[in-house]
């Protein structure tokens, strides 16, 4: 008996497909990652490599993905192992290369759903006013976020990660429920509701930001900072890499989700205009709304001179620390804070279910499982894979997954796909397939780009990123050092600290002290904790008057060394306005984290998914071969 795929689902409406595909692409990267990347990579000049990357990688790979997906759907395949197998004429390696296109989406949604859960939690915190403070005590938002995630060595606002775990479980259940409902009744329905709401929230928040007036700077100052071009940045290769990475991330290239969406189309359904439309919606949200909310608001409230510091602090710092601080300062936390984080949640939610559908399609199309069974397996995988992300977050497990599945893996997958499409399947056949039922004609210059330009440039990007990781030793897990102030919630005033950067006269000394502390932790082979009695005065360096902790730490680290470490980080305290300067006695919790065990657990978890889907692929094709042999007999 030959393999005959079960009838496959289809999209209910074209607008539903466009919304769903836009929801797949529109995510946190549009509203937080893009403005941060632009602000730290040349401002307006960043748009030059950004547009170049869109033309050389984004649009070509997007059309390839839609074409490959629609081809696969005609053959009864919604995911890459089956599609690559057919496109290469059954070459044995192809289906196993395609396993990357199933394992990576599984890993991605595991950690992305955790970030999604933060947004849902913060929307609830905003509604309740949890981080507003009581008038006498101001919540330290950076500490609040770190303790919420279990990143801080203190417990001023949260006793553990229980709240974060609860919101993650809620988020996971919502995702699996939508996936269980299927393409038309689940993903398409969600997108029809979420995308208009997302655009409405963007508009409301954008108008609110534009009407802030001038506090420390104006909105115009923020927009000028973001879009004022620094053309010297174009000489920096890292800026071009950042632009290419942003295009991959924002258009969901390399995740296999666009291929899945395309597989539910009919042979002559348009993909040329549909693909371009969804990309246009994504770019509109990213370039317009991504530019007019976070960075301009930061300029108004903090002053334009502090925007580089805020932008360089990272995606999550902009979303979870700076924006709540802004909302708290100008008022409107309950309404606008809830809207801001619901906006981020909806953006992430539509992306996670879209990418989760990749695994659903693999189980339904290739393993021939029912929708309910597939959703149950996806949910079980999701829950098991979340262990390192949630419980080992403080050791860098989420960043590790993001590096392999959200950076390196995407490029590896894209290289396989473009080579198979343009060189093995054939660019002429591929170009003809792209234009079947097309409502527009794709400009002809994209055809040679797909064959001669995109593949080698993808290889260059992969080699550069991977070699950069090797040369920087980021593949070798080194201990991380953290400190926090006990009883921070009860202390008036503000704390700040910043480590010296390269080029700073104190940088070499700081590196020397940190290297010794890391070596002590490496030699111990486990976390080391200590508690420091510290005196802080606004006009004097910090001084340690007492030191207790793990024996291995006390034996090899002198109090003077930790004192120097805190001084080099310029730890300082400012009393509340109107209060005279005076000395403050605090207890500082120090934690040196031994990361090797946690990172290898994370890597083994990712390899386990790759092995599991590879084993399933081997078993599926072996069964099909047996069925074919039995039918022939």
pLDDT over 70 at 381, yes or no: yes
Taking all residues of the chain, what is their mean pLDDT, rounded to a whole number?
A: 91
| Contacts of residue 162, Cβ cutoff 8 Å, sequence gap at least 6 | none
The pLDDT value recorded for residue 136 is: 64
590 or 300: which carries more pLDDT confidence? Answer: 590
State whether residue 372 is helix, strand or coil.
helix
State whether residue 392 is helix, strand or coil.
coil
| Contacts of residue 189, Cβ cutoff 8 Å, sequence gap at least 6 | 16, 181
Average pLDDT over residues 318-331: 83
Could you tell me which residues are beta bridge partners of residue 537? 540
Average pLDDT over residues 294-299: 87
For 518-550, write each residue's pLDDT tens digit: 999 999 999 999 999 999 998 889 999 999 999
Compute the chain's Rg from CA coordinates: 26
pLDDT over 50 at 5, yes or no: no
Average pLDDT over residues 22-36: 86
Closest by Cα among 127, 109, 222 to 171 = 109
Confidence of residue 366 (pLDDT cuts 50, 70, 90): very high
Extents of the domains making up the chain:
14-474+599-632, 480-594
Confidence of residue 329 (pLDDT cuts 50, 70, 90): confident
Distances (CA, A) of 385 to 139, 293, 351, 377, 409: 33, 34, 18, 12, 17
Confidence of residue 185 (pLDDT cuts 50, 70, 90): confident
What's the CA gap between 303 and 309, in Å, rounded?
Answer: 11
What's the CA gap between 26 and 31, in Å, rounded?
Answer: 9
For 106-138, write each residue's pLDDT tens digit: 999 999 999 999 999 999 999 999 998 776 678
What's the CA gap between 542 and 102, in Å, rounded?
Answer: 52
Kindly state the percentage of the chain with pLDDT values over 70: 98
Minimum mean pLDDT range among 256-260, 298-302, 340-344, 450-454 = 298-302
pLDDT over 90 at 304, yes or no: no
7 phi and psi, to 5 degrees? Answer: -55, 135
For 226-280, write each residue's pLDDT tens digit: 888 889 999 998 899 899 989 998 888 888 999 999 999 999 999 999 999 989 9
What's the CA gap between 289 and 284, in Å, rounded?
Answer: 7
Note the CATH number of domain 14-474+599-632: 1.20.1740.10
State whether residue 495 is helix, strand or coil.
strand
């Amino acid at each position: 008996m030959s393999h005959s795929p079960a009838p496959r689902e289809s999209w209910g409406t074209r607008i539903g497909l466009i919304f769903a595909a836009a929801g797949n692409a529109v995510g946190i990267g549009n509203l937080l990652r893009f403005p941060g990347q632009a602000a730290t990579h040349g401002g307006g000049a960043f748009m030059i490599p950004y547009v170049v990357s869109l033309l050389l990688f984004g649009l070509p790979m997007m059309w390839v993905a839609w074409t490959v997906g629609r081809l696969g759907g005609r053959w009864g395949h919604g995911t890459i192992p089956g599609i690559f197998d057919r496109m290469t004429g059954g070459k044995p390696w192809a289906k196993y290369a395609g396993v990357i296109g199933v394992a990576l989406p599984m890993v991605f949604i595991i950690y992305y759903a955790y970030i999604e859960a933060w947004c849902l939690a913060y929307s609830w915190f905003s509604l309740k006013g949890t981080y507003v403070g009581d008038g006498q005590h101001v919540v330290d938002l950076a500490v609040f976020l770190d303790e919420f995630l279990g990143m801080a060595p203190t417990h001023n606002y949260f006793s553990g990660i229980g709240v974060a775990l609860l919101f993650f479980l809620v988020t996971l259940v919502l995702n699996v429920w939508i996936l269980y409902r299927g393409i038309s009744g689940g993903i398409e329905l969600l997108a029809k509701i979420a995308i208009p709401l997302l655009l409405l929230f963007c508009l409301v928040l954008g108008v609110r930001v534009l009407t802030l007036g001038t506090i420390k700077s104006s909105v115009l100052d923020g927009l000028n900072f973001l879009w004022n071009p620094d053309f010297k940045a174009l000489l920096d290769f890292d800026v071009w890499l950042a632009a290419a990475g942003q295009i991959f991330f924002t258009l969901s290239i390399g995740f296999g989700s666009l291929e899945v969406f395309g597989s539910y189309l009919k042979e002559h359904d348009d993909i040329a205009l549909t693909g371009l439309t969804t990309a246009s919606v994504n770019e509109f949200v990213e370039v317009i709304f991504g530019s007019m909310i976070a960075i301009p608001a930061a300029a108004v409230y903090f002053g334009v001179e502090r925007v580089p510091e805020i932008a360089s602090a990272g995606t999550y710092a902009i979303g979870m620390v700076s924006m709540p601080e802004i909302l708290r300062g100008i008022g409107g936390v309950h309404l606008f804070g809830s809207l801001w984080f619901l906006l981020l949640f909806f953006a992430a939610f539509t992306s996670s279910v879209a990418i989760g559908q990749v695994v659903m399609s693999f189980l339904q199309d290739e393993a021939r499982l029912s929708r309910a069974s597939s959703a149950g397996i996806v949910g079980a995988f999701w829950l098991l894979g979340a262990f390192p992300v949630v419980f080992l977050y403080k050791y860098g497990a989420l960043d590790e997954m993001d590096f392999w599945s959200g950076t390196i893996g995407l490029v590896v997958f894209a290289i396989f796909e473009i080579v198979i499409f343009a060189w093995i399947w054939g660019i002429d056949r591929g170009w003809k397939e792209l234009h079947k039922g097309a409502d527009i004609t794709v400009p002809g210059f994209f055809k040679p780009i797909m064959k001669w330009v995109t593949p080698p440039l993808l290889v260059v990007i992969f080699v550069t990123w991977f070699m950069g990781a090797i040369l920087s030793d980021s593949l070798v897990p080194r201990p991380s050092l953290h400190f926090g102030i006990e009883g921070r919630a009860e202390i008036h005033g503000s704390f700040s600290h910043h480590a010296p950067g390269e080029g700073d006269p104190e940088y070499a000394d700081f590196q020397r002290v940190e290297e010794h502390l890391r070596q002590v932790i490496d030699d111990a082979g486990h976390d080391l904790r200590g508690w420091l009695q510290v005196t802080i005065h606004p006009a004097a360096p910090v001084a340690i008057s007492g030191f207790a902790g793990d024996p291995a730490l006390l034996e090899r680290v002198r109090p003077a060394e930790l004192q120097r470490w805190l001084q080099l980080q310029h730890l300082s305290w400012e009393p509340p306005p109107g209060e005279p300067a005076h000395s403050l006695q605090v207890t500082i919790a120090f934690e040196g984290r031994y990361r090797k065990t946690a990172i290898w657990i994370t890597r083994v978890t990712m390899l386990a998914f790759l092995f599991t889907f590879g084993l399933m692929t081997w078993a599926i094709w072996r069964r099909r071969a047996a069925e074919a042999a039995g039918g022939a007999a």
